[in-house]
Amino acid sequence: MAGKTNQGSYLGMVAAILSFGLPISYVATLIIGLPVYRFLKNRNILTTYRLSFSGAISGAIIMLLFTASLGGIEHMVLKEVFNSLLLGFLLGGTVAFTFGHIAGITSQPSPTR
């Protein structure tokens, strides 16, 4: 019986995280990710590296803003701020890299037209 309680708590926690995290990530993707993608593509400098780096920077900023909105950044110690930035950097970069890979973006800019 204890296993079911733990599993239910775990699933509830995952559901709560997804219910808050998914809308934020989709809004961030539309507000920040799509314009960055278009900017890189229009300048003919779109590569997986540039897309991943811009996603990582965006992710760090969004994670810091999200963390600050939950508990206030003024109450966080430097280590918590760093961990929040690092987590956002890794998540944003991973999402951008995965998108680039699925979209077929290469590590070299496409030839100019």
pLDDT on residue 1? 45
Specify if 19 maps to a domain: no
Burial 51-78 (b: 16+ CB within 10 A, else e): bbbbbbbbbbbbbbebbeeeeeeeebee
What does the alpha-carbon distance between residue 38 and residue 40 come to, in Å, rounded to a whole number?
5
Specify if 113 maps to a domain: no
Specify if 12 maps to a domain: no
Specify if 78 maps to a domain: yes
Q: What is the number of domains present in the chain?
A: 1
Residue 13: CA count within 13 A, CB half-sphere: 6
Specify if 30 maps to a domain: yes
Domain that holds residue 70: 24-103
Print pLDDT tens along the chain (113 aa). Answer: 444 556 668 788 778 777 877 888 888 888 998 999 999 999 999 999 999 999 999 999 988 888 877 776 667 778 888 888 999 999 999 999 999 999 999 888 766 64
pLDDT on residue 73? 64
